[in-house]
Structure 1
Amino acid sequence: MCRRSHRAVSRRPGARFPSVNAVADATTAVAAGDDAASRSAFRQRMTSRRVGVALLASVIGSAGLASCASGNDAMTNLARTTTNSVAGSVGAITLRNVYVAGPVSQGGSAPIVSAFFNAGGEPDTLVSVSSSEAGGGQPPKPADLPSGGGRIFIADTSAPTLQGVTQNLLIGSQLPITFTFAKAGSVTLDVPVEPAATGASGAPAETSASPDTTTSPAQQTPAAGSATPSTGATPAAGQVTPTATVTAAAG
């Protein structure tokens, strides 16, 4: 009689095939790793977005604060002209918003719109303006610059002026101009030619003409105390007949 030996075999799934269990475990580990990597990448993306939003809010807030903190400077910037100009300095003197009011025809006079500021401890004077493209120059009126003060000149007879320019000064062109101060010394700037700002004359104003002394009788008011001849009146004997030419009373 034959006896068969029966080994105890576990009924647990996969007990008979260990390799199957190993593959399953590896697959599970890989899946878990992929899931962890995905979660980590998601967290990094969310963190980056939060940082970006925070930075954007910070920039917007800074711009708003800067606008509020600018105060009067903001209004000053709005008030500035858009005309092209140059600036410079020599010693304690600062030159700003300098340009020639043009256009100017050859042989004409060119007013220099400009602002001068004296930061020194003693007064100074702009004694001359000159250019290789002009026959001469006239300093401003007045030309003195008080200590800690300044002067601003528009395009009128008070502005520093180049006289007898040697060529047409067209809008957009430029020319060298030397400003000489009594104490600070000289500085040369390449000054642009631009249209005069609104409200300023484009050329030095001419001196007013003498009043015309020829006045029609109809417009002449008789001097106080003088009699007005009535129409049709016959002068008495010995009286002079009024003539049509009226001479203005002195004073």
Structure 2
Amino acid sequence: MSRTKRFRPTGAAVLIGAMIGMVGLAGCGAGQISQTSNQTAAVSGANVTVGHIAVRNALIEYPVGVRPAAAVYRRGENAPVQLTIVNESDAADRLLRASSRVAGSVQLAGDGALPGDHVITSGTKLQALPNSHEVQVTLAGLTDEIRPGLSYPVVLTFERAGDVVVDLPVGSPAEARLDEPASGGGGH
């Protein structure tokens, strides 16, 4: 009679196999192609760096007194933009113009000069920073409604840096949302 030998893995072989499997699975959870690599924060504005120009916390300001369920801005209205532009170079640059497909024009009020290591701010909620000055940026004559939860492209054109495209989200309301009580006496 012949006897067939059965292979029985030792405890060490099982442990090594389990460790290799865990290392392989851990590699699936991170990296440049992970699901979270292209997600952005839901609260703050857009951040873009092109060459020596850094645009930080750029967003369309949420107006005071607008209910969250409604469009924030209607066609034909103007929408103020809040942002910070940093020239990270020693060489001067200049914000020449801005444009957007959702506005008839983008108005720039103020001096677009951007000396080296200087900051331009726009928006009423920002405090003056050292080595900075303010330029008001406004999306004028909106061609589409502006709604919360969406972002809208704006192209900032600089003398040296060229075009910088920023997808502006709509900012959050300053006041907390107050829901109406449920009808029918349930209230839950």
Name the TM tier (shorter chain): 0.5 to 0.7
SS class of match (1:160): strand
* Counterpart-to-counterpart distance in 2, 1:196 and 1:187: 27
Deviation at 1:197, TM superposition (A): 5.7
Task: Show the counterpart of 1:112.
Answer: 81
Deviation at 1:129, TM superposition (A): 1.3
Distance 1:155 1:172, change over 3 A: farther
Of 118, 122, 141, which aligns to 2:110?
141
Q: Which has the higher strand share?
A: 2
* Counterpart-to-counterpart distance in 1, 2:111 and 2:77: 22
Indicate if the aligned counterparts of 2:120 and 2:135 stay in contact, CA closer than 8 A.
no
5+ residue gaps, structure 2: 1-41, 63-71, 126-133, 176-188
* Counterpart-to-counterpart distance in 2, 1:143 and 1:108: 24
Alignment of 1:89-168 (within 5 A): 89-102=49-62, 103-155=72-124, 158-168=135-145
Distance 1:139 1:148, change over 3 A: same
Distance 1:188 1:168, change over 3 A: same
> Which is greater in Rg?
1
Indicate if the aligned counterparts of 1:136 and 1:162 stay in contact, CA closer than 8 A.
yes
Alpha-carbon RMSD across the aligned residues, in angstroms, is 2.4
Say if 2:167 is the partner of 1:186.
no
Quote the sequence identity (%). Answer: 28
5+ residue gaps, structure 1: 1-81, 199-251
Q: TM-score, normalised by structure 2?
A: 0.56
Tell which has more relative contact order, 1 or 2 (C-alpha 8 A, sep 6+).
Answer: 2
SS class of match (1:194): coil
Deviation at 1:127, TM superposition (A): 1.1
Indicate if the aligned counterparts of 1:86 and 1:98 stay in contact, CA closer than 8 A.
yes
Alignment of 1:21-32 (within 5 A): none
Task: Show the counterpart of 1:174.
Answer: 151
The AA in structure 2 aligned to 1:122 is A
Q: How many residues align?
A: 118
Q: TM-score, normalised by structure 1?
A: 0.43
* Counterpart-to-counterpart distance in 2, 1:150 and 1:136: 23
